[in-house]
Chain A
Amino acid sequence: MTGKPSSRTTQQALTYLILGIATTFILMPEVWLLVTSLKKNTEYLSPQFTFLPAVPQWENYVQVFTMIPFLNYVRNSLVLGVTFTTLCVMSSSLAGYAFARIQAPGKNFFFSIVIALLMIPAIVTVIPQFVIFSQVGLTGTYWPWVLWGIGGSSFHIFLFRQFFANFPRELEEAAELDGCGPFRIFLEIFLPNAQPVLATSAILNFMWVWSDWFNPIIFLSDANTTLAVKLNYAYVTPQGQQLTPIVLAACVLYVMVPVVMFFLGQKHILQGIVTSGLKG
């Protein structure tokens, strides 16, 4: 930043030093997770501190599947995730498109509600929802996720609206002259050109359900719960002692899904985060 070459070198060195410290802070816990997931339980519980496992216990990763019906819980998480994501993307893209491209009385009023819901915390609705759902027998089922999906999400409506607002007007004018109705214009002209935002929305929605611990633990029962919940208490000895390294191995597998999804969609996701963060 300053002119002198020597001070510039010092400053650069300092920059990399700080970035290095930050990188270490981020990576150390992750590395410790990986190495500990390969330790024997007795090794983990030994008072002697060792960084690497004496012999990597790949066995742990097999036990993740054999100790409990792991894949059942994966399936539960997947079913919830895919159901919610499909519905939420459909509902949010429709609403986002309408707010961006269709003119109607009352539009601004409803859009201000979308923005207000973006800021208003969900804490005042989730417990009454729980009360209502349990009165009508929807707790313990996947129905809440279906309903939440149909209702869409303010954040994703906003995301779609920002995206669709940037298309040139000529696009739908031409289609209208050809006699296309609004729904066909949306389906055949806008949606096929919306792959980046569709992917972002789908990935973020899926990651949200896959990561969620709070809603499954209050709305589902032990029998049909998700991996996020089951993971915490499933891997124990008959005496009830937690087998930490196996839990950690399960964690590694559990984390892989959103991390891989994030890397696949990184560019678009970061763009989406930035758009919502900067323009609110």
Chain B
Amino acid sequence: MDIHLPLVQKGRSVRTQQSAANTQARKGMSPRAWRQARAFYLFISPWLLGFIFLSIVPLLVGLLISFSNYDGLNLMEVKSVGLRNYARALGDTETQYALQRTALWTLLNVPLWLAISFGLAMLMNQKVKGRGFFRTIFYLPSAVPVVAIVWIWKIFLDKNYGMVNGLLGLIRPGTALPWLTDYALQSLTAISLWTGLGSGMVIFLAGLQGIPTELEEAARIDGANGLQVWRHVTLPLMTPVLFFQLVLAIITSMQAYVVPMLISPGSGQNLSNLPPRGVYLYMIHTFQQIFVFRRFGYGIAMLWLLFILIIVLTFLVFRTQRYWVYYETETEEKKA
């Protein structure tokens, strides 16, 4: 017979037993199992149609375009150019420059974000008065739309009229640091931290609160001091959360586009304004090819290259897991 499984609640062994029984029962499908299957596919059909026509078809069309000279208008005389788009992208110095900036930006943004939001979560995990207040404040920027975020920071860091230079000017009159142009990468990092600290903190805080207090207490009874408890109990138990957040942060950072694009002076109306060289990131270079020069084939080839790079990088990060990510069973061994 067919079985409804609340997958999350039931224990794993129970679940596998039951689904084994399931497969047996399904061999000659009972009318009820058939009705269930029909209902299932009916229920997921909107999503399934979307998956086919909004993911699979565009993926294949994109792949085809990336091997062609399509420029948005020459549909009738499109011809295959083989791997030329890919080769050209890899050999292009501008692409290499953009990739280098993207790597630098990711290396700056991801560790800072992980460290600071984890640190804030640890502070908040103590007995803090007004925890709800702080949490709301930190999370607030996550609710602010990106366009407003950029406007907020544009006027905050403006060279001539910004608040930061205004305050610096009180100490040293005449200060006019070009934050948004010469220090664009640092500014972008500040904006990204401002936006993302809250959500990072909320997730890490939930992870910390999930650590059973008995473990930390037991370590303390064994004579460990605060730092040792943190190093040998808290941190190892948090590594799965840290790992997952690291992967997500790398994937997101590599695709950064909207904020650096909107920072550039006179932006917002169209996509042809270029941001400062410091934040000339890979996605900006790519969308420039597509929307300004209408090199669709070339641009989509560049997107596929980034996609492959992200997958390879994610795979490599996954491979590092066994060196630093502790899963429950491993931790038990460690302590024994």
CB of A103 within 8 A of CB of B58, answer no
Q: Assuming A19-B134, A218-B291, A259-B143, is B40 touching A123 (CB within 8 A)?
A: no
A residues near B128, Cβ cutoff 8 Å? 15-16, 19
- A119 to B269 Cα, complex, angstroms: 31
* A232 contacts the other chain (CB 8 A): yes
* A189 contacts the other chain (CB 8 A): no
Tell me, rounded to whole Å, the shortest Cβ–Cβ distance linking A12 to chain B.
8
B residues near A45, Cβ cutoff 8 Å? 161
CB of A103 within 8 A of CB of B147, answer no
Tell me, rounded to whole Å, the shortest Cβ–Cβ distance linking A35 to chain B.
9
B residues near A259, Cβ cutoff 8 Å? 140, 143-144
Tell me, rounded to whole Å, the shortest Cβ–Cβ distance linking A109 to chain B.
11
CB of B206 within 8 A of CB of A277, answer yes
A residues near B258, Cβ cutoff 8 Å? 213-214
CB of B49 within 8 A of CB of A19, answer no
A residues near B152, Cβ cutoff 8 Å? 29-30, 32-33, 251
Centre residue among A1, A127, A262 by max chain B CB count within 10 A: A127
Residues 248 to 282 of chain B near chain A (Cβ within 8 Å): 251, 255, 257-258, 262, 267-271
CB of B48 within 8 A of CB of A128, answer no
- A49 to B176 Cα, complex, angstroms: 12
A133-156 vs B, Cβ < 8 Å mask (1 yes, 0 no)? 011000000000001101110000
* B145 touches which of A182, A228, A280 (Cβ 8 Å): A228
Tell me, rounded to whole Å, the shortest Cβ–Cβ distance linking B114 to chain A.
13
Tell me, rounded to whole Å, the shortest Cβ–Cβ distance linking B190 to chain A.
9
CB of B244 within 8 A of CB of A277, answer yes
* A58 contacts the other chain (CB 8 A): no
Identity of the chain B residue whose Cβ is nearest the Cβ of A46 in the assembled complex? B161
Tell me, rounded to whole Å, the shortest Cβ–Cβ distance linking B11 to chain A.
14
CB of B43 within 8 A of CB of A231, answer no
Tell me, rounded to whole Å, the shortest Cβ–Cβ distance linking A153 to chain B.
9
* A115 contacts the other chain (CB 8 A): no
- A222 to B212 Cα, complex, angstroms: 55
B136-159 vs A, Cβ < 8 Å mask (1 yes, 0 no)? 111111111111100111011000
Tell me, rounded to whole Å, the shortest Cβ–Cβ distance linking A180 to chain B.
12
* A274 contacts the other chain (CB 8 A): yes
Identity of the chain A residue whose Cβ is nearest the Cβ of B131 in the assembled complex? A19
Q: Assuming A258-B145, A262-B143, is B49 touching A151 (CB within 8 A)?
A: yes
B residues near A107, Cβ cutoff 8 Å? 40
Q: Assuming A94-B46, A147-B50, is B123 touching A32 (CB within 8 A)?
A: no
B residues near A22, Cβ cutoff 8 Å? 120, 134, 138, 197
Centre residue among B51, B128, B245 by max chain A CB count within 10 A: B51
A residues near B268, Cβ cutoff 8 Å? 213, 229, 231-233
A25-50 vs B, Cβ < 8 Å mask (1 yes, 0 no)? 11111101100100000001101010
* A211 touches which of B65, B146, B199, B269 (Cβ 8 Å): B146
* A237 contacts the other chain (CB 8 A): no
Residues 23 to 61 of chain B near chain A (Cβ within 8 Å): 26, 33, 35-37, 39-44, 46-51, 53-55, 57-59, 61
* B325 contacts the other chain (CB 8 A): no
- A157 to B51 Cα, complex, angstroms: 13
CB of A258 within 8 A of CB of B143, answer yes
Q: Assuming A28-B163, A124-B62, A258-B143, is B44 touching A233 (CB within 8 A)?
A: no
CB of B207 within 8 A of CB of A278, answer yes
20 interchain pairs (CB within 8 A)? A30-B140, A103-B2, A103-B33, A117-B51, A121-B255, A127-B300, A128-B65, A128-B300, A150-B46, A152-B50, A166-B8, A186-B43, A213-B146, A228-B147, A231-B268, A232-B147, A232-B268, A248-B155, A277-B241, A278-B207
> Assuming A218-B271, A231-B151, what are 20 further A-B pairs, CB within 8 angstroms?
A16-B128, A18-B123, A19-B128, A27-B137, A30-B152, A92-B47, A95-B46, A103-B3, A103-B4, A105-B26, A107-B40, A127-B290, A147-B53, A213-B262, A218-B291, A248-B155, A255-B148, A259-B143, A273-B203, A274-B203
A-B CB proximity, top 8 nearest: A151-B50, A232-B268, A211-B145, A49-B166, A104-B40, A98-B43, A128-B62, A182-B39
Q: Interface of A with B (CB < 8 Å)?
A: 1-2, 15-16, 18-19, 22-23, 25-30, 32-33, 36, 44-45, 47, 49, 51, 90-92, 94-95, 97-105, 107, 110, 113-114, 117, 119, 121, 123-129, 131-132, 134-135, 147-148, 150-152, 157, 162, 165-169, 172, 181-183, 186, 207, 210-211, 213-214, 217-218, 228-229, 231-233, 244, 247-248, 251, 254-255, 258-259, 261-263, 266, 270, 273-274, 277-278, 280
